Amino acid sequence: MKKFITAALLCCTVIVSAQQKSPDALRTAVAKAEAAAENPKKAVAPATWIKIGKAYMDAYNAPAGQLWLGASLNEIQLISAGQTPISQEDVVLSGVPYLKQVYADKNLYFGANGQLQMIEVTAPVFEDALSLALKAYAKAGEVDVKQSKKKEIDAALQDIAQKYLTEGLNEYTLGRLDRSSVKFEKAAEASATAPLCVVDTTALYNAGFTAWMDATNTADSLAAVAKFDRARVFFEKCAENNYFYEDGEVYAKLHDVYKHLGDNEKAKSVIEAGFSQFPQSQSILISLINFYIENHEDPNKLFALLDVAIQNEPNNASLYYVKGNIYNELADKTEDPTEKANLKAQAKASYYKCAEINPDYEYGFIGAGVMYYNDAVVLSEKASNEYDDKKYEALVKEFEQYLKDAIEPFEKAYAITKSVDIKNSVALYLKNIYYRFSSQSDEYLALYKKYDEIVKQSQQ
């Protein structure tokens, strides 16, 4: 989420005011601009409303002054003309450490690199300056029948939308998810305002995501339902505009929302639609499998949906990788040893089928290797909690067999992949496996040393 929002705000790195004015002077400027609009002749001129919008924007920007994101502590001391913070403290927001400086009208947050990362205005000149500016520019667009000021009005609306996006990110960082969702909603509204009329799917997704996060963190069931319903509105708007975020994540979120709202039919239809369009999405796949199991649906329907995708793209090796994932997930959810073994075998066959379709496709072998490795980890945990010596020895033997089963697919993946990052990741798995057996033979010891050296070099 944070990566997504941050990417959307790269152009919002500067908040600057050409000349600092007192709050009283800014309020006076707004009052004069609004008084002019009371004149019927001036009220039909777009320039009148543009002036009101600018006055409110000047008031909005005033507390930040000439500060800009990315400024160093030394630069801010120079710009602040000798002003010093009232207090400062180290804080942690969303798991990230910051230095927080408190001023009379704002809080400044500096990252570990000493650069300004966030400005939190605590004493605005007007509580709703952005909203009032938005109304003024919307009115300017309304009376600009000749569209002579369209370019200027559009730029102002874009600026307001970006400022709302920045505020949304700030609220998200501060952990105020409900406020964050509202700010992102307002960003979308600003972009959609005439004459700009742009559907900002970034803002819509962010509004939905933060509402969804807020709902999942809300203990009160009635309050949570209302928040899930709020998230639904924004995710549905994303879908209406054919925006599904990375790997169709909007489908997975809508599915979860419908489940919490008690609408299983919609939950089912939306996740099946998502799977049809994004069969490689792990979040969609897991949501679909869990839903089928929870609702006692026939798992074969999953394969029927996937077979349609395979028929459309018979040479797409990744679809067999997905098939392997389905078998593996189903295997992990059954307690029947025979059924589990059969499903694991089918998972391996599907993973290996990938290489038959595309010899350069490494992910099938990786899928098989990870499957066996993860199964070994589970057995290792069981063994560590087993006090019966015979049962313990049986679990260790099974654990070691799974590790050995993982060797072949990992070695095949390492041999065919052209990606350095993937080679390094696979090498780490192989290093750990060979270390387990390094005392059993010189061959295993040599292989451990080989991959240990590769891992060391990748970390330099």
DSSP string, 335-351: --HHHHHHHHHHHHHHH
Listed in sequence order, the residues at least 6 apart from 70 whose beta carbon sits closer than 8 Å to its beta carbon are: 13, 115, 116
Spatial distance between the Cα atoms of 249 and 254, rounded to a whole number of angstroms: 9
Residue pLDDT, tens place only, 373-382:
999 999 999 9
Spatial distance between the Cα atoms of 304 and 299, rounded to a whole number of angstroms: 9
Q: How confident is the model at residue 13 (pLDDT cuts 50, 70, 90)?
A: very low
pLDDT at 73 over 80: yes
Q: Are 117 and 100 in contact (CB under 8 A)?
A: no
Residue pLDDT, tens place only, 76-116:
888 876 678 999 999 999 899 999 999 999 999 999 999 99
Residue pLDDT, tens place only, 348-375:
999 999 999 999 999 999 999 999 999 9
Count of C-beta atoms within a 10 Å radius of residue 324: 25
Report the range out of 199-203, 291-295, 455-459 with the highest average pLDDT: 199-203
**H/E stretch holding 92:** strand 87-93
**Percentage of the chain with pLDDT > 70?**
95
Q: Is 195 helix (H, G, I), strand (E, B) or coil?
A: coil
Q: How confident is the model at residue 302 (pLDDT cuts 50, 70, 90)?
A: confident
Q: Is 157 helix (H, G, I), strand (E, B) or coil?
A: helix
Q: Which amino acid is at 137?
A: Y
- Give first-to-last CA distance, the chain, whole Å: 29
Share the mean pLDDT of the chain: 91
Both tokens assigned to 273: 């639609």
Question: Given this model, what pLDDT does residue 8 score?
Answer: 45
- C-alpha dist (Å) from residue 3 to 45, 248, 284: 42, 17, 20
> What is the radius of gyration, based on Cα positions, of the chain?
29
Q: Are 33 and 45 in contact (CB under 8 A)?
A: no
Question: Given this model, what pLDDT does residue 6 score?
Answer: 44
Count of C-beta atoms within a 10 Å radius of residue 208: 27
Residue pLDDT, tens place only, 422-439:
999 999 999 999 999 999
- CA-based nearest residue to 421, from 456, 452, 450, 458: 458
pLDDT at 16 over 50: no
Q: Are 417 and 426 in contact (CB under 8 A)?
A: yes
pLDDT at 180 over 50: yes
Residue pLDDT, tens place only, 17-61:
345 789 999 999 999 999 999 999 999 999 999 999 999 999 999
Q: Phi/psi of residue 419, each to 5°?
A: -90, 125
Residue pLDDT, tens place only, 184-217:
999 999 999 999 999 999 999 999 999 999 999 9
Spatial distance between the Cα atoms of 342 and 68, rounded to a whole number of angstroms: 60
Spatial distance between the Cα atoms of 5 and 118, rounded to a whole number of angstroms: 14
pLDDT at 277 over 60: yes
Both tokens assigned to 233: 């509105």
Question: Given this model, what pLDDT does residue 81 score?
Answer: 66
327 backbone φψ class: left, alpha, beta (φ>0; ψ -120 to 50): alpha
Spatial distance between the Cα atoms of 223 and 232, rounded to a whole number of angstroms: 14
Question: Given this model, what pLDDT does residue 10 score?
Answer: 40
Residue pLDDT, tens place only, 237-275:
999 999 998 889 999 999 999 999 999 999 999 999 998
The pTM of the full predicted model, rounded to 2 decimals, is 0.73
Question: Given this model, what pLDDT does residue 261 score?
Answer: 96
pLDDT at 416 over 90: yes
Question: Given this model, what pLDDT does residue 19 score?
Answer: 52
Question: Given this model, what pLDDT does residue 111 score?
Answer: 94
Q: Phi/psi of residue 123, each to 5°?
A: -135, 75
Both tokens assigned to 111: 């990252």
